[in-house]
Amino acid sequence: MTRVLIVGNGPSAHRLAETLTTRGFTGSVTILGEEPRGAYDRVALTTHLTEGRDLMYPEIPGVTTFVDTKVVSIEPAAKTVNGTIPYDVLVLATGSAPFVPPVPGRDLDGCHVYRTIDDLDAIRASAKTATAGVVVGGGLLGLEAADALRGLGLQTHIVEMSPWLMPRQVDEGGGAVLKRHVEALGLTVHTGSGVTRIEGDDRVTGLLTPDKGVIDAQVVVFSAGIRPRDELARGAGLQVGERGGIVVDDGMRTSDPSILAIGECALHNGQIYGLVAPCMTMAEVAADRIMGGSAAFTGADLSTKLKLLGVEVAQFGAMAGALDVTYLDPVAGVYKKLFVSDDASTLLGGICVGDAAPYATLRSFVGSELPAAPSDLLFSPVAVELPGDAPVCSCNNVTKNDVTAAIKEHNLTDVAGVKACTRAGTTCGSCVPLLKKILTESGVDTGTGLCEHFTHSRAELFTIVQVRGITTFTQLIDEHGTGRGCDICKPVVASILASLHNGHVLEGEQAALQDTNDHFLANLQKNGTYSIVPRIPGGEITPEKLIVIGEVARDFGLYTKITGGQRIDLFGARVEELPRIWQRLVDAGFESGHAYGKALRTVKSCVGSTWCRYGVQDSVTLAIDLELRYRGLRSPHKLKSAVSGCARECAEARSKDFGIIATEKGWNLYVGGNGGFTPRHADLLVQDVDTPTLIRTIDRFLMFYIRTADRLQRTSAWLENLEGGLDRLREIVMDDALGICADLDAQMAAHVATYADEWRATLDDPVKLRRFVSFVNAPGTPDPSITFTTERDQIKPEILQVTSR
């Protein structure tokens, strides 16, 4: 009679014993488990806390189970465990153990893991004397644990090392959406953060992070991953994987033919399976083998769909592919991504956060041809045509038929018209994408598209470029557009690429996208000459530098004028003169002023508290710091700023995209101001903040604007069109209502770190310099069409003949 001895009494062990029994195994089956109870459903563990559910599996008749019995050794030669208990076939089903990072204080009272019923009982006991808890680890189990802490009435934090939550299941975009959902439930998420130490004497009092300070908490739950429990196997000399796990073949056999391993402790084909379904399959294969069969485990699909903290998350197939298609709706909190083969025909996998509806269908298409264009599967809010009586706007009880009828009757052409006629979309706004779709179905072109080459808005293109990591115009237009672009979309894409990657604007293919101003790093004037504006941060300049500008202007015969932004503009330079002029300016320590770019222009300043009798803060230093921080930042339109040293506002900060006015206590930040065509006073975003808070807020404001604004939309128009207006903007940049602040901060940090002066880089590169000629076939020849007269002792362009209009 064969004696089967199973070590461990988790779900895998239970399934093995059950399968053996139901298949009529004639030998004996004995289970040794270290937990003080029989096998139970670990997957449903959390319900033990939340609903007090009974998780115990039914007992299996004929199987002998020893609880509270830990196996400490195997003697393979003698075929015994713990020195005395004999076996013919030994099955290791020891599962895995939570990994607890080696941080000081991890053994304090109040520190827990989340694996067994006993763990949960202990957490519940600790929570009785606690008000706040921290979960270390933002993976699947961490989020589940966090939800349990929240259910126990604790103010709950999640600390996750990766830059986003659930890094194994979702990518960065999905993680951001997930984070926002989790935060909406009142949990606090700290991504990109490690743990320095657990604070406390006997009992935990808090958790110290490297850069976010101490999080006060009396309960800490470690959920930083699991490690296969292979210690017994190691002790017995069985083969184990480099990073743990008991090596098994397709028949679940370890390197000792009498010993099998199944479940989470087994390493099959280099893979550990942390989900219960593959563990069950392994148990069944092992049962078949024990009974003389030849079943084989050949790997398992790791697709998952779950609802964590009320958020649907699904991942299926591969987590990467040659091409991918992304749909992101940060407002509704939906993120979907499909990975497809390089010819865009085969579905490889996908990720859904916030709405896993496509999961069921799409999962079954993994590895086969796509049932429709990827964008139709993900980008459109409804994959199939809605029936006429389907409710479109439930707030106002409007059906699709109502909308179509209104479009026909009133010849409506846009969403605004539909809203006015039907009231659909006027309450919560969530049906607006549907309204657009119905308009399109009715043959109306809703055209948020940039131009004939892209049907996307600038903000949509920004998301596509960012999420997909696109670096060239050619890739973008090949995959998302038509034709070869134009003077509208090319500069937009150039600006997006520059905002995201900060490479030199004349590098490679980028050069062909630029407006002539960016192409020659100077401003085209009416007669074909260019003007030059060196950067003078904050308007502060030494006499030496002022003299250099004067000398350069004199030597090249340039018309010279002081600008409104406290710098000096030099006019009338021919293309071939630009490098020589800039060589002298760069040698004297000047940098490009980006007067030619859709970028930060200047940060004006008044003289401030250093000299002024009224000044309360040092406005000049702040202006210089801000100008140096944001110099070269490419944006949907130009950006202007100013800093005033007191409420008298001599720098006119409130007419700027972002203006700062000093107060007794710190700084007031105003945003969305404009001079120009439609003047607008900037609105007060935050009050009396210190300098680091001010800078962080401006960072986020600018990056959020850059992400979401339309082409050539100044901050003033952008702010007026922003849904929820100034209050919403404040929620987003101050309270991180969209969960994107970490991203915005990181993007600005990357900009600051990678800034380089464009003119210096151009002068250092003979290839880039080659284009600075009037004529390719006569590089030394000046353009004969450019001529000047004089006025008030300076040059003035001659009037050119134009076609009469």
Partner 1 sequence: MTTMPLPQRVWEAVCPLSDLLPERGACALIGGEQVAVFRTHDGSLYAIGNRDPFSGAYILSRGIVGTRNGEPTVASPMHKQVFSLTSGVCLDDPGTVIPTFPIRVTMGMVEVSVK
Shortest CB 529 distance to ligand SF4, Å: 36
- Give the β-pairing of 683-689 and 204-209: unpaired
**Dist CA 380 CA 596 (whole Å):** 38
Task: Give me the sign of the Cα torsion angle 73, 78, 83, 85.
Answer: positive
By CB under 6 A, which span of 454-462, 640-648, 702-710, 787-795 interacts with ligand SF4?
640-648
Report the b/e string of 468-496 with b at 16+ CB within 10 A.
bebbebeebbeebbeeebeeebbbbbbbb
3-state class of 404 per DSSP?
helix
What are the respective helix, strand and coil percentages of the chain, to the nearest 5?
A: 35, 25, 45
Which residues between 194 and 233 bind ligand FAD (CB under 6 A)?
A: 229, 232
When CB distances are held under 5 to 8 angstroms depending on the partner's kind, the choice from ligand SF4, ligand FAD, partner 1, none that residue 606 binds is ligand SF4
Could you tell me if 701 and 658 are in contact, meaning their C-beta atoms sit under 8 angstroms apart? yes
Q: Which is nearer to ligand FAD, 276 or 344 (CB)?
A: 276
Residue 634 pairs in a beta bridge with: 599
Q: Is 45 in the site for ligand FAD (CB under 6 A)?
A: yes
**Among residue numbers 441 through 460, which ones bind partner 1 (CB under 8 A)?**
452-453
Residue type, position 768, single letter: K
How far apart are alpha carbons 537 and 567 in whole angstroms?
A: 9
C-beta of 631: minimal distance to ligand SF4 in Å? 23
* Binding partner selected for residue 53 from partner 1, ligand FAD, ligand SF4, none, CB under the kind-specific 5 to 8 Å limit: none
Between 77 and 799, whose beta carbon lies closer to partner 1?
799
Nearest alpha carbon to residue 505 among 636, 598, 580 = 598
| Cβ neighbours for 335, distance < 8 A, ≥ 6 positions apart | 170, 173, 174, 176, 177, 178, 326, 327, 328, 329, 351, 352, 353, 354
**Is 741 marked as binding a ligand?**
no
Residue 77 or 776 with smaller CB distance to partner 1: 776
Please name the residues in contact with 256: beta carbons below 8 A apart, sequence gap of 6 or more. Answer: 76, 236, 238
- Of 165, 487, 460, nearest to 311 by C-alpha is 165
Nearest distance, CB of residue 116 and ligand FAD, angstroms: 7
Q: Does 540 bind ligand SF4 (CB under 6 A)?
A: no
**Is there a binding annotation on residue 606?**
yes
644 is a contact residue toward ligand SF4 (CB under 6 A): yes
70: contact with ligand FAD by CB under 6 A: yes
Is the CB of residue 17 less than 8 Å from the CB of residue 7?
Answer: no
Q: Is 34 an interacting residue with respect to ligand FAD (CB under 6 A)?
A: yes
Backbone angles phi, psi at 743, to 5 degrees: -60, -50
111 is in an annotated binding site: no
User: Which x/- pattern over 232-271 shows residues binding ligand FAD (rule: CB under 6 A)?
Assistant: x------------------------------xx-------
User: Does the protein bind partner 1 through residue 511 (CB under 8 A)?
Assistant: yes
Shortest distance, CB of residue 643 to ligand SF4, whole angstroms?
9
Name the one residue in this structure whose structure tokens are 């490889």.
348
> Strand, helix or coil at 692?
helix
Q: Pattern of binders to ligand SF4 over 383-422, x per CB under 6 A? A: ----------------------------------------
When asked if residue 486 is in the footprint of partner 1 (CB under 8 A), the reply is yes
What x-and-dash track marks residues 596-615 binding ligand SF4 by CB under 6 A?
----------xxx---x-xx
Strand order in the sheet with 155-160: 111-113, 219-222, 132-136, 155-160, 188-191
Smallest gap, in angstroms, from Cβ of residue 647 to ligand SF4? 7
In sequence order, what E strands does 347-445 have?
347-353, 391-393, 398-399
- Name which of 232 and 461 has its Cβ closer to ligand FAD: 232
Give the residue with the Cβ less far from ligand FAD, 96 or 463: 96
Out of 519, 594, 601, 714, the residue judged to bind partner 1 by CB under 8 A: 519
CA distances from 560 to 23, 569, 794 (A): 96, 6, 8
Q: Is 612 marked as binding a ligand?
A: yes
- Give the nearer residue to ligand SF4 in terms of CB position, either 264 or 627: 627
Q: For ligand SF4, which residue has the nearest CB? A: 645
Binding site for ligand SF4 (CB under 6 A): 606-608, 612, 614-615, 619, 644-646, 648-650
Binding site for partner 1 (CB under 8 A): 452-453, 474, 483-487, 489-491, 509, 511-517, 519-520, 524, 526-528, 770-771, 774-778, 781, 783, 785, 800-803, 805
> Which residues belong to the annotated binding site for siroheme?
650
Binding site for ligand FAD (CB under 6 A): 7-13, 32-35, 42-43, 45-46, 70-71, 93-96, 114-115, 141, 144, 229, 232, 263-264, 274-277, 279, 306
